[in-house]
């Protein structure tokens, strides 16, 4: 009766990894129970999740090496299977909430989120690419654009592009405070998107900084973000808390691949009890202030609370 926090299935956003082709369901080695889906198998999976009460999904493409280039030009190409999949999913499941990833890394031959010139990631050259990518996704029917790259000014540029082209109803969930974290490793394995050289520290945030997250939140709100995200979640609960106190728009948190992997590994060894530790993790993220949580645990959690 007096419980202060509850995690409900509808608070969860389930991330999906995708790969072109047919009839594929490939398990990610470092993320047991999480798969890379071809579009046809993904439709069935989405249907199952919707039956369990999960309504929101975020889609991440893996892209063949031959389609990658320095400008990530395949990201807005007519023949990009990611865009086709968004269109088909929206046709099949109009009531599902689909969120995209906007960043160059899956399409970039350098494996970076920005354009690389002389070994440096160039912020301003990246912005028009992100705008084009976002417009292509909006045209395909995406509900929420998720800029995940941390370039300065991208929320404003994307908002302008969407508004000018008539997509005023497409929202933006900004990766506001995305830290240069060691917990993205399994995700990069899943998408083969690790940087070919260097690291992401010139654009992702320093894990030591909390007040900087508030500056980022202020900028994102001024530029037109509809929701703010903190990422990763578990090592950054204090950041979720302060950003929630500071802002008056919804705050979400990304319970990332490494956080999933470490619990799964401990459970496989018999060292932790999955059914107790997993809901405790989600609860802590919600208690810290997240309105919604992106999490690979979504389906397991939905099943657990239903039974």
* Catalytic residue IDs: 178, 231
Q: Write out the two tokens for 231.
A: 């990422």
Site string for ligand PBG, 252-281 (x = CB under 6 A): ----xx------------------------
Please choose, out of 47-55, 69-77, 101-109, 157-165, the segment that lies near ligand PBG by the rule CB under 6 A.
Answer: 101-109
Site string for ligand PBG, 181-220 (x = CB under 6 A): ---x--xx-----------x--------------------
Handedness of CA 227, 127, 98, 302 (dihedral sign): negative
Q: Least distance (Å) from ligand PBG to the CB of residue 74?
A: 15
Of 14 and 81, nearer to ligand PBG (C-beta) is: 14
| Shortest distance, position 277 Cβ to ligand PBG, whole Å | 18
Beta strands, E only, the chain: 12-18, 25-28, 31-37, 56-61, 97-99, 115-117, 120-122, 144-145, 171-178, 227-231, 251-255, 292-295
Q: What backbone phi and psi angles, to 5 degrees, belong to 79? A: -90, 5
DSSP run (H or E) holding 288: helix 274-288
Interface residue with ligand PBG, options 101, 110, 220, 223 (CB under 6 A): 101
Min separation Cβ 22 and ligand PBG, Å: 26
- The answer to whether residue 11 forms part of the interface with ligand PBG (CB under 6 A) is no
Q: How far apart are CA 105 and CA 75, in angstroms?
A: 10
- Please state the closest distance from residue 102 (CB atom) to ligand PBG, in A: 8
Binding of ligand PBG at residue 57 (CB under 6 A)?
no
Q: Minimum distance between the CB of residue 223 and ligand PBG, rounded to whole angstroms?
A: 19
Interacting residue with ligand PBG among 20, 105, 143, 223 (CB under 6 A)? 105
CB under 6 A: which stretch of 40-48, 62-70, 99-107, 151-159 binds ligand PBG? 99-107
Count of residues interacting with ligand PBG (CB under 6 A): 12
- Tell which one of 7, 103, 158, 263 touches ligand PBG (CB under 6 A): 103
Note whether 34 and 18 are within 8 A (CB): no
Q: Is 3 helix (H, G, I), strand (E, B) or coil?
A: coil
- How many Cα neighbours within 13 Å face the side chain of 140? 27
Show the tokens assigned to 212. Answer: 């900087």
> From the CB of residue 48, how many other CB atoms can be counted at a distance below 10 Å?
13
Asked whether the CA dihedral 235, 270, 295, 39 is positive or negative, the reply is: positive
Instruction: Examine residue 72 and tell whether it contacts ligand PBG (CB under 6 A).
Output: no
Asked whether position 148 contacts ligand PBG by CB under 6 A, the answer is yes
Minimal distance, residue 151 CB to ligand PBG, in Å: 11
Cα 261 to chain centroid, rounded? 16
Task: Specify the residue for token string 């072109």.
Answer: 20
Binding region for ligand PBG (CB under 6 A): 101, 103, 105, 113, 148-149, 184, 187-188, 200, 256-257
């Amino acid at each position: 009766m007096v419980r202060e926090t509850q995690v409900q299935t509808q608070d969860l956003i389930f991330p999906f990894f995708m790969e072109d082709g047919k009839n594929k369901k490939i398990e990610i080695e470092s993320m047991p129970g999480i798969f890379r889906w071809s579009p046809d198998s993904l439709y069935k999976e989405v249907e199952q999740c919707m039956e369990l009460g999960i309504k929101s999904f975020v889609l991440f493409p893996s892209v063949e090496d031959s389609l990658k280039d320095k400008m990530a030009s395949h990201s807005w190409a007519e023949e990009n299977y990611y865009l086709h999949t968004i269109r088909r999913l929206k046709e099949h499941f109009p009531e599902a909430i689909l969120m995209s990833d906007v960043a160059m890394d899956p399409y970039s031959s350098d494996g970076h989120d920005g354009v690389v010139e002389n070994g440096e990631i160039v912020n301003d050259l990246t912005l028009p690419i992100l705008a084009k990518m976002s417009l292509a996704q909006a045209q395909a029917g995406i509900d929420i654009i998720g800029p995940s790259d941390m370039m300065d000014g991208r929320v404003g540029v994307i908002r302008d592009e969407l508004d000018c082209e008539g997509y005023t109803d497409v929202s933006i969930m900004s990766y506001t405070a995305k830290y240069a974290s060691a917990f993205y490793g399994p995700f990069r394995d899943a998408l083969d998107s690790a940087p070919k050289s260097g690291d992401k520290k010139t654009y992702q945030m320093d894990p030591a900084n909390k007040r900087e997250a508030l500056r980022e939140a202020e900028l994102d709100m001024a530029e037109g973000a509809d929701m703010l995200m903190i990422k990763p979640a578990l090592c950054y609960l204090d950041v979720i808390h302060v950003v929630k106190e500071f802002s008056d728009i919804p705050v979400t948190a990304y319970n990332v691949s490494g956080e999933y992997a470490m619990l799964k590994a401990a459970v496989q060894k018999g060292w932790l009890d999955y059914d107790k530790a997993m809901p405790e993790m989600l609860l802590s993220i919600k208690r810290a202030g997240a309105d919604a949580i992106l999490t690979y645990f979504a389906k397991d959690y939905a099943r657990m609370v239903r039974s």
